[in-house]
Homo-oligomer: A and B are copies of this chain.
Amino acid sequence: MTEPTVGEDAEARARAERHVGRPRERREDPDLLTGNAEYTDDITAPGETHLAFVRSPHGHADVEAIDTRAAEAMDGVLAAYTWADLREAGIPGRLPITDRVRGDVPGHPVLADGRVRYQGQPVAAVVAESRYRAADAAAAVDVSYTPREAAVDPVDATASDAPTLFEACPDNVATAGELGDEAATDAAFEDADEVVELDLVNNRLVANAMEPRAALARVHDGTLRVEMTSQSPHRHRSKLAQTLGLRENDVRVVAPDVGGGFGHKGHHHPGEAMAAWAARELDRPVKWVATRSENYQAGAHGRDHVTTAALAFDADGTIRGLRADTYAGVGGYGLGSGPALATWYGRLLAGEYEIPAVCCRTRGVFTNTAPVHSYRGAGRPEAIYVLERLVKRAADALGCDPAAFRRRNLLDPDDFPHETAVGATYDSGEYEAAMDRALDLVDYEAVREKRGEEGANGERGKRGERGERAERDDGRLVGVGLANFVESTGGGFESGVVRVHPDGGVTVFAGTHSHGQGHATTYAQIVADELGIPDEDVEVVEGDTDRIPAGTGTFGSRSTITAGSALAESAADVREKARDIAASELEAAPEDTVFEDGAFHVAGAPEQSVAFADVARAAYGRLPGDLEPGLEETTFFEQEETAYAFGTHAAVVAVDPETGEVDVERYVAVDDCGVQVNPKIVEGQVHGGVAQGLGQALYEGAQYDENGTLLTGSMQDYTVPKADQIPELTTDATETPSPTNPLGVKGIGEAGTIAAPPAVVNAVVDALEPYGVDHVDMPLTEERVWRAIQQSG
C-alpha cells in the first residue's frame, strides 16, 4: 500500500478537527448569564418618551366615549391617541390578517375601533416623558363602555345563540379546514374490530418569556427604526410597514438580545405599531415595554383546542384509522396567520405510525379572549397529544402493553420517504431504534410491572438523592407514559452571508434571530468547518433588517436547517473563490490547490502555500484576470421538503391518590434531529422543551370567566414550573440524517413541548389504572386528578 497523500492525510485530520458535532459551550452565555445582555429596554435613545396603553377591562363591549383631556393636561404628557387619530392620519391602522379567514373580517386595530373583543385590548395610548407619568396618564383616560355578552369557549361560541364578534362572521367560525379522506376513514372505522374515543382539551397557554414584548421606535432621515423583541425581524418589518402604510425600505427593524419568544415574538402586535406611529407623529423616540400583566392579557396565547377524537384498530393492535374534530380558539381578532394554524395541525396526526385512513376536521373560532397564535410547537403538540392519547387508550382497551401496541404500528426505516394519509411526506426515520432506547433508559418493563401498585416506588424512594423523598411515606401510584412523535421542522427560505474581512476574520449574517437558541455558537461551527478555520474566528450577526439581506425568522424549529444551510453554502462558495485567488497567488491551477491547516497549498508541493488570511488580504486588493475583488458570498437557501424530527419520550410518575399530586419521578427523552451540530445545544433545547411541556401538562392553563375576564393574569394564578419542579432528565439521541438539506439536520427546538404532555398524561392515566380513569385534561392539577379519582369511584 502506498502512503496516504497529503490531501488524504489532511482530510482525515480535518474530520477529526471538525467543529460540527462538538458540544461547544454557548458563546452567548457569558453575557446572558452575567447581566450583560442588551435587551430592547436596555437601549436608550436621547430624548426618548414612553408609551402606555389604556386597555379594555371588558372581554366584549362597545366603546361609547373616550375622554383624554385629563391625561393630556398632565405635565410631561406629550399626546393621547385613540382610533380617531389613526383614522385621521389615513394609515391602515390594522394588523394584517390571513386571507384564510372567512368573510370580510377586519384585522386587529392598533387601537379599538369602537368595540373591544378581549380583555386587555388597547383602547387608547398615551405618550409621556417618563414611564411613570405615562402610566399615570393612561389611568387618567376616561373610557365609557357598554358591556356585551361574551363568547369564551370555542365550542359554545359556534352555537346559534352565541354572541357574534364580527358581523362578517356570524357563526364566529373564522377558519375551517378538512384534511384526509373522510370516506376512507369512515370505512376504516366500520371495518375495524375496535374503536376508542376521547374528548380532549389542549389547554390555552400563555407564552411567558423572561423578557416581555418591547419596542423602541425612532425616526431619522425619514427612516423608521424600531428596536424590538422579535424572532423574525424581516417579517416584522413587512408587517409594520403594512400596518402603518409605509414602504419596507423606510423601516428598519433591529432585534437586540431577545429574552425568549416561544412564538409570540414572531407575531406582529399593536404595541410596536403604536410606538412606531407615535414616534413618527411626535418626531421623538418612543419606547413601549409591556408589563407582565399586559403579557398575560394581550400577548398572543397558544393552543386552546377542544377535540373529539377516535382511533379504529383491530384486535391484533393494527391501527386502521383516526378521526379528529377540533374547535380551536382564535381569540378576539385574527392575528396574522393565527386563525389558520388550526387548519393544518392535523398534518401530523399519523405520527410515527402506518395509519391508512386519517380524517381531521377543524374550526378556528373567534372568542372574546386574547388572540391565539403559534406557541412553541404550534400545532405539532396538539396533533401528537391527540394521537398519543388515543394510542394509550387503545392499548389499554385491548389490554395490550402500550409500547407493544406502538411497535406493531411503527413505520419501518425502509418506508421512507413516506406519505401519510394526511399528506405529510416524511423524509427519514428510524423510529423503533429511538423507542427501544427510551424504553431501555426508563427501565420500562420494570416500571410497567409495578404500575398502579400502591407503594410500588418504595425502592426508588430509597435512592436518597433528595432527602425528603427517601423518607416519604409511600402510598402513591406509579405509572409510565410514552410519547412517540414526529415533528415537521424547517421550511421556507433563509439568507446567509459569509463575509471574510481583509485580516481573515469572518462575519456571517443570517435572517433568523436567536432568542435563546445559541445560533452564534452553532452557525460558527458550521462555517468554521466549511472554511477550515477555528470557530472563534467566525462572528455571527442576526437581528437587523439593514445588516441582513432578507429573512424568514426563527420559529418552527427551522433555523439550523435553513440559515445553517444557507451559511454552509455561502461558506463553500467563499472557499471556492479563496482557492481561485490562492491558485493565482501560487501560480497553480485551482484544481491543483488544496486547503489544509489554514492555508492553501500546491498539491504535491506543500511548501508552496499561502495562508487563508493572506488570501483574504489579497482579495481586497487588485486581483489578476477576471477575479472580482472581495471575499463574500450570499445564499438564499430554500428548504423544499420538510425535515421530520422524531423521538420517544417516557415519563414515570407517582400519583398520590389522597391529594391528586403528581410527581414526575423520571423523564427520558430520546430525540433524533438528524446530524447534531452542537449536542450540548440540542440537549439544552430538549431540556427547555420538556420543562415547558411539563408546564402545560401539570401547571399552566389560561382561564377566562364567562365575561371574558382573565382569571389567570399573573404568575400567582398562571404557574409556570419552577426549577425544583423539573425532574432529572435523561436525554439521549439517535441520528438519522435528513436528506432535505446539505447539513443533514432536523429541528429540535420544539420536541420537548410536543412529547412531554402526552408522555405525562399517559403516565398519570397509567398510574390511575386501578381507578379506571381513562383521561384527565391538562393541566393535571391536584384538584383535577383528585376529582378524576373520586368520580371514577
Assess the A632–B629 pair: CB atoms within 8 A.
no
Assess the B247–A505 pair: CB atoms within 8 A.
yes
* A546-B547, A636-B628 known; A539-B249 Cβ under 8 A: yes
A interface residues (Cβ-Cβ under 8 A, vs B): 31, 36, 38, 42-44, 46, 220-223, 238, 241, 247-250, 493, 495, 497, 499, 501-503, 505-507, 537-539, 541, 544, 546-547, 549-550, 620, 622-623, 628-630, 632, 634-638, 640
How many angstroms from the CA of A638 to the CA of B507 in the assembled complex? 22
* A507-B249, A628-B636 known; A539-B220 Cβ under 8 A: no
Residues from chain B with a CB closer than 8 A to the CB of A507 are: 249, 546
Assess the A620–B550 pair: CB atoms within 8 A.
yes
Give min CB distance, A494 to chain B, whole Å: 9
Give min CB distance, A766 to chain B, whole Å: 44
Q: Give this chain's copy count.
A: 2
Residues from chain B with a CB closer than 8 A to the CB of A620 are: 493, 550
Residues from chain B with a CB closer than 8 A to the CB of A238 are: 501-503
How many angstroms from the CA of A495 to the CA of B499 in the assembled complex? 12
Between-chain CB contacts (< 8 Å), 15 pairs: A31-B221, A223-B539, A238-B503, A241-B503, A247-B503, A249-B539, A495-B630, A497-B549, A499-B550, A501-B550, A541-B546, A547-B547, A549-B632, A550-B630, A632-B634
* A46-B44, A622-B638 known; A549-B249 Cβ under 8 A: no
How many angstroms from the CA of A204 to the CA of B419 in the assembled complex? 79
* A38-B220, A38-B221 known; A248-B503 Cβ under 8 A: yes
Assess the A638–B629 pair: CB atoms within 8 A.
yes
How many angstroms from the CA of A345 to the CA of B288 in the assembled complex? 57
A493 and chain B: residue at smallest CB distance: B629
How many angstroms from the CA of A98 to the CA of B499 in the assembled complex? 26
How many angstroms from the CA of A497 to the CA of B548 in the assembled complex? 11
Give min CB distance, A156 to chain B, whole Å: 38
Residues from chain B with a CB closer than 8 A to the CB of A632 are: 495, 549-550, 634, 636
Assess the A537–B247 pair: CB atoms within 8 A.
yes
Partner of A249, one of B42, B241, B501: B501
A32 and chain B: residue at smallest CB distance: B221
A509 and chain B: residue at smallest CB distance: B546
Residues from chain B with a CB closer than 8 A to the CB of A502 are: 238, 248, 550
How many angstroms from the CA of A46 to the CA of B41 in the assembled complex? 12
How many angstroms from the CA of A306 to the CA of B502 in the assembled complex? 37
Residues from chain B with a CB closer than 8 A to the CB of A506 are: 249
Assess the B499–A549 pair: CB atoms within 8 A.
yes
Residues from chain B with a CB closer than 8 A to the CB of A635 are: 628
Q: A248-B503, A249-B505, A249-B538 are known; give 7 further A-B pairs, CB within 8 A.
A: A36-B221, A247-B501, A497-B549, A499-B550, A546-B547, A550-B629, A629-B638
Residues from chain B with a CB closer than 8 A to the CB of A636 are: 628-630, 632
Assess the B505–A248 pair: CB atoms within 8 A.
yes
Assess the B634–A638 pair: CB atoms within 8 A.
no
How many angstroms from the CA of A635 to the CA of B633 in the assembled complex? 10
The 4 lowest CB-CB distance pairs between A and B, nearest first, are A630-B636, A249-B505, A493-B629, A248-B501
Give min CB distance, A17 to chain B, whole Å: 21
How many angstroms from the CA of A152 to the CA of B310 in the assembled complex? 96
Interface centre among A538, A628, A630 (most CB of B within 10 A): A630
Give min CB distance, A631 to chain B, whole Å: 8
Residues from chain B with a CB closer than 8 A to the CB of A550 are: 499, 501-502, 620, 629-630, 632
Give min CB distance, A29 to chain B, whole Å: 12
Assess the B539–A493 pair: CB atoms within 8 A.
no
Residues from chain B with a CB closer than 8 A to the CB of A546 are: 507, 541, 544, 547
How many angstroms from the CA of A634 to the CA of B497 in the assembled complex? 11
Residues from chain B with a CB closer than 8 A to the CB of A249 are: 501, 505-507, 537-539
A30 and chain B: residue at smallest CB distance: B222
Give min CB distance, A24 to chain B, whole Å: 16
Residues from chain B with a CB closer than 8 A to the CB of A628 are: 635-638
Give min CB distance, A93 to chain B, whole Å: 18
How many angstroms from the CA of A241 to the CA of B623 in the assembled complex? 24
Residues from chain B with a CB closer than 8 A to the CB of A497 are: 549
Give min CB distance, A339 to chain B, whole Å: 20
A620 and chain B: residue at smallest CB distance: B550
Assess the B220–A630 pair: CB atoms within 8 A.
no
A46 and chain B: residue at smallest CB distance: B44
A235 and chain B: residue at smallest CB distance: B502
How many angstroms from the CA of A538 to the CA of B502 in the assembled complex? 29
Residues from chain B with a CB closer than 8 A to the CB of A38 are: 220-221
Residues from chain B with a CB closer than 8 A to the CB of A222 are: 31
Give min CB distance, A569 to chain B, whole Å: 10
How many angstroms from the CA of A635 to the CA of B632 in the assembled complex? 10
How many angstroms from the CA of A88 to the CA of B544 in the assembled complex? 37
How many angstroms from the CA of A550 to the CA of B620 in the assembled complex? 8
Assess the A630–B549 pair: CB atoms within 8 A.
yes
Residues from chain B with a CB closer than 8 A to the CB of A499 are: 549-550
Residues from chain B with a CB closer than 8 A to the CB of A503 are: 238, 241, 247-248
Give min CB distance, A37 to chain B, whole Å: 8
A617 and chain B: residue at smallest CB distance: B238
How many angstroms from the CA of A541 to the CA of B545 in the assembled complex? 12
How many angstroms from the CA of A636 to the CA of B628 in the assembled complex? 6
Give min CB distance, A628 to chain B, whole Å: 5
